[in-house]
Structure formats: structure tokens, C-alpha cells
């Protein structure tokens, strides 16, 4: 089981805090990789929060291919952070030659939010295609105020490599979603490591999506951005994106889509017509296996929920400044030892927990 975690804070925090959240949870294959998505950035990117930020790992040739493409599309380079790795011997990391985190300005003045979103997605998909076909690298996100770092290896060593333990003030953010394991079920592929990202939505999901085939077959036709499917957890992100971004429904309905209420319970509800229609029309997006989801929304809110049989754990705990979501409480104990543990929330199988930007915790039953 992957351990997953997230930190939401009023003050920007370092990635090392995310690592300290995750490392105590290690078991078995955990800690075979490191992946995090940072949102609401401080540090080097704080001046360009409205400009799309490209996160990629590639070869020299890959970097050139991307630069050429971006130049051809009239994207203008703004800020850039190229980590200078600590290449000390004995580190367990399968490093790529280059890691590029770069802000661009839009090629033209596009006011329309939807058009911007479309452009950013299309650009990322095209870059991914270029890098995949040439086998020269990986692109993880291209979105304003969002940074993604993924690598294979021991997360401690990966952190050493990127100097994340140093807390140098380069990388900070108010929201971090993190996971420390490669997808050991299948081929080890960088794209298969969650968190996954799509148009502002970030998602980690541990567990087994037993309706993977159903989900995948359905999602393939729903949106051009629903690609890859290297991990059965990507389905959770695509469904989140579909429900909130495409259908423009609210969060409660995401839960109704992935873990619909039993028919007998629906029949008792005043909104049964709606719930039944959702269950009917989105039957192929149901998730029927064990899992926990931690998601970050474009507006900075975070949410978590579980499968309908509560076969995977999750706990939410924190104080006035910082709240963490974690598979296991030991991680939160490490980073927030002084919080009031009695206020920790262990969501049940029908519960959704949302943390808003004022760190208010809103919870409800499906």
C-alpha cells in the first residue's frame, strides 16, 4: 500500500517537511521513489505566480526539443530554477541528466481563462509527446504556481540530491501533496508515480482500483487530457477533473460518482433522482476497490475521502497554521507533534473532508 500525504499551511513550508511526514510511514516497497506537487509557491517562483511553470526531467537533447517547441509557440521564458544536484556517491537515485523548472509568459495576451487552460494542457500534451517519442524525458506539469518533482530511488537520497534537506528558501509552498513510492505493481515508470496533475487538479490515491479497465475505457473518450493510464490511480484524477472541471458539479458529487450509495440507500434520499441519474450515467467511473484519495483543487483547497468499505486508512490533523493529511498518523506526529490529537479526524467510508484556504476543515457524509 502506498502511503500518501499532504500538507496545507498558512505559511509556506519546505519540501523537507513533506519528507518528514512520509518517512516514518515507510513499510516494504514504500520509499522506492519520491513525488510531490507543490502549489501556491513561495521562494524563487513567488514573483511569477500567474505565469505557467514547466516541471520536467530530461536529457540535454530533450531540453533542446522543449526549448525549440516553446520558442516556436512564442512562449517567453521568465524565471528558471535548475537544481544543482549534490552528486555524492552512494545515493540511491536514478537521476535524469536535467531537471528544469521554468516559468513562461503566455505567447499572447489571453484573457479568457478557458482558453488559457486549453493552451496549457495542449502544450503539455504536445511536449509529452515530443519527449516520449524521442525518449528524451518527462514532463509532469505546466501550470501557474504548480511545481512537480518526481524521481525513482530512496526519498532521503533524492532529497539529498536535490538539496531539499537544506531548506534554502528556493522551494517553498503553502500546499504540498506527496508520495514516496514507485508503482511497484507494474513497470517502473516515472509517469506512474502519483501525485498526478491535470489543469490545476492534483491527486494521490493509494490502493487498488479494481474498476481500472472500466474507468480507463470510459475515460479515454471523455477528454483528450485523459491519457497515460500508467497507474490505476490516474483514474481518480481524471474523474475528479471530469466531475468538477468538465461537468462543473460540486465536490459532494465526486464522492457520489466514485463510491455511489447502495440503491437501497439512494431510494431513501430526497435527492434520489439526481443520485440515481449520476449512478446510471457515470457507472463506469465508479471505483470499487480499496483506496484513499488526497486531492488538491485549482483554488488551493484540499480534500480527502476513502473507498466505500473503508479498506484504506487516512487521518487529518493539524493546528491553526498547518494541517496535514496522511495515510498514517505517525507521519503527522512527526511534523506536528504539539497539535491537539483529540481533534484528529479519521474519515469514515462515506465522509468527505475538505480543507479550505483559511484552514477550516469542512466535513460531511455523502
Partner 1 sequence: METVKTQDIAVNDLMWKIDYNAERCTMCGSCVASCTFKAIKVEVQRKSITLSQANKPEPVHQQCAIPVIKQVASIENACRGCGMCERVCPNNAIRAVRNPDNRRNLLSRDNGPIKRGGRTNLNAQRTLDKIIVGRISQMTDPSLDSQRHTFDIRSPLGRILSPKELPMQIENGKLVMTKKTPPVRWIYPLIFSDMSIGALSTRAWEAVAMATAYLNERCGLPVRMSSGEGGMPVKLMESDYLKYFIIQIASGHFGWNRIIKAMPRMKTDPAGVLIKIGQGAKPGDGGLLQAEKVAPHVQAIRGVPKATLSSPPNHQGLYSIEESVQKMHLSLNAAFGFRVPVAIKCAASSTSVSVYNNLLRDPYKICGGFFIDGIQGGTGAANEISLDHTGHPVVSKIRDCYNAAVEQGAQGQIPLYGGGGIGMTGNAAADAFKMICLGANGVFCGKILIQLLGCVGNEQGRCNACNTGKCPTGICTQNPRLVKRLDIDKGAQKIVDYVLAFDSELRKLMAPIGNSSLPVGRSDALVSTDKAIADKLGIQYVC
Residue 32, C-alpha cell as written in the block? 522506492
Nearer to partner 1, 263 or 340 (CB): 263
DSSP readout, 138-202?
A: EEEEEEETEEEEEEEB-HHHHHHHTTGGG--SSEEEEEEEEE----TTS---GGGSSPEEETTEE
Residue 325, C-alpha cell as written in the block? 493529511
Chain residues in the site for partner 1 (CB under 8 A): 185, 207-208, 210-214, 217-218, 220-222, 242, 246-250, 252-253, 260, 262-263, 271, 273-274, 276-278, 280-284, 286, 288-290, 308-309, 311
In the complex, minimum distance from the CB of residue 207 to partner 1, in angstroms, rounded to a whole number:
7
Spatial strand order of the sheet with 52-58 comes to 76-81, 98-105, 52-58, 137-144
Nearer to partner 1, 207 or 318 (CB): 207
In the complex, minimum distance from the CB of residue 233 to partner 1, in angstroms, rounded to a whole number:
12
Residue 45, C-alpha cell as written in the block? 517562483
CB within 8 Å of 142: residues ≥ 6 apart: 52, 53, 54, 55, 120, 123, 124, 127
Q: How far is CA 329 from CA 3, 5, 177, 299, 313, in A?
A: 11, 10, 16, 26, 10
In the complex, minimum distance from the CB of residue 237 to partner 1, in angstroms, rounded to a whole number:
17
Nearer to partner 1, 35 or 287 (CB): 287
Nearer to partner 1, 95 or 274 (CB): 274
In the complex, minimum distance from the CB of residue 216 to partner 1, in angstroms, rounded to a whole number:
10
SS3 97: coil
| Pair 326, 354: CB distance under 8 Å | no
Nearer to partner 1, 8 or 256 (CB): 256
Nearer to partner 1, 173 or 209 (CB): 209
What DSSP designation does 345 have? B
In the complex, minimum distance from the CB of residue 63 to partner 1, in angstroms, rounded to a whole number:
37
In the complex, minimum distance from the CB of residue 23 to partner 1, in angstroms, rounded to a whole number:
23
Amino acid at each position: 500500500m502506498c502511503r500518501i500525504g499532504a500538507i496545507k499551511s498558512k505559511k509556506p513550508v519546505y519540501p523537507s517537511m513533506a519528507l518528514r511526514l512520509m518517512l516514518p510511514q515507510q513499510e516494504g516497497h514504500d520509499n522506492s521513489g519520491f513525488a510531490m506537487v507543490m502549489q501556491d509557491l513561495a521562494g524563487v517562483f513567488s514573483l511569477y505566480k500567474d505565469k505557467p511553470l514547466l516541471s520536467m526531467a530530461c536529457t540535454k537533447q530533450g531540453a533542446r526539443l522543449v526549448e525549440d517547441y516553446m520558442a516556436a509557440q512564442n512562449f517567453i521564458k521568465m524565471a528558471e530554477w535548475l537544481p544543482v544536484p549534490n552528486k555524492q556517491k552512494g545515493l540511491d537515485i536514478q537521476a535524469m541528466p536535467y531537471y528544469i523548472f521554468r516559468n513562461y509568459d503566455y505567447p499572447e495576451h489571453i484573457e479568457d481563462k478557458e482558453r488559457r487552460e486549453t493552451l496549457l494542457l495542449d502544450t503539455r500534451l504536445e511536449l509529452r509527446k515530443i519527449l516520449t517519442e524521442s525518449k528524451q524525458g518527462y514532463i509532469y506539469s505546466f501550470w501557474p504556481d504548480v511545481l512537480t518533482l518526481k524521481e525513482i530511488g530512496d526519498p532521503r537520497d533524492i532529497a539529498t540530491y536535490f538539496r531539499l534537506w537544506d531548506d534554502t528558501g528556493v522551494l517553498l509552498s503553502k500546499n504540498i501533496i506527496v508520495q514516496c513510492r514507485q508503482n511497484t505493481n507494474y513497470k517502473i515508470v516515472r509517469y506512474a508515480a502519483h501525485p498526478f496533475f491535470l489543469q490545476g487538479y492534483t491527486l494521490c490515491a493509494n490502493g487498488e482500483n479494481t474498476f481500472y479497465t472500466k474507468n480507463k475505457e470510459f475515460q479515454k473518450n471523455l477528454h483528450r487530457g485523459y491519457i497515460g493510464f500508467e497507474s490505476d490511480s490516474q483514474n481518480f484524477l481524471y474523474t475528479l477533473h471530469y466531475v468538477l472541471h468538465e461537468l462543473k458539479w460540486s465536490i459532494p458529487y465526486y464522492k457520489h460518482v466514485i463510491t455511489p450509495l447502495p440503491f437501497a440507500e439512494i431510494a431513501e434520499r430526497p435527492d434520489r433522482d439526481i443520485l440515481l441519474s449520476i449512478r446510471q450515467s457515470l457507472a463506469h467511473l465508479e471505483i470499487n476497490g480499496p483506496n484513499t484519495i488526497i486531492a488538491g483543487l485549482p483554488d488551493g483547497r484540499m480534500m480527502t475521502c476513502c473507498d466505500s468499505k473503508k479498506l484504506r486508512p487516512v487521518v487529518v490533523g493539524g493546528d491553526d497554521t498547518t494541517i496535514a493529511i496522511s495515510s498514517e498518523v505517525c507521519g503527522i506526529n512527526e511534523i506536528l507533534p504539539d497539535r491537539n490529537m483529540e481533534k484528529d479526524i479519521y474519515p469514515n467510508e462515506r465522509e468527505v473532508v475538505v480543507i479550505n484556504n483559511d484552514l477550516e476543515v469542512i466535513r460531511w457524509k455523502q
